[in-house]
Amino acid sequence: MDDTSMVGLMGRVTGTIGPGLVGEVIVRVRGGAEHFLAYPATGTERIERGTVVTVVEYLPPRTVYVSAMYGS
């Protein structure tokens, strides 16, 4: 999977993301759902478990930077 195909995908936080924390998200890709290590796209944002996020940047093989959707 290349960088551009991951950017813009939606996922759900399964482990809290925030400054000083390595969180986790689940994203639907390649016909299934996969877990990725996740960091906030802005260094100060805290994103709680269950929040819907969008992938802003993808660092292969399993790291994404995300931002909360829907003003959460």
Q: Distances from the Cα of 67 to the Cαs of 2, 27, 31, 50, in angstroms?
A: 20, 13, 23, 13
Alpha helices for the chain (secondary structure H)? 3-6
Handedness of CA 34, 14, 50, 18 (dihedral sign): negative
Q: What is the mean pLDDT of residues 48-71?
A: 94
DSSP 52: E
**How far apart, in whole angstroms, are the C-alpha atoms of residue 68 and residue 61?**
22
Q: Which two tokens stand for residue 38?
A: 């996740």
Q: What is the mean pLDDT of residues 34-39?
A: 97
pTM for this model (two decimals): 0.89
More confident residue, 11 or 70: 11
| Banded pLDDT at 2 (limits 50, 70, 90) | low
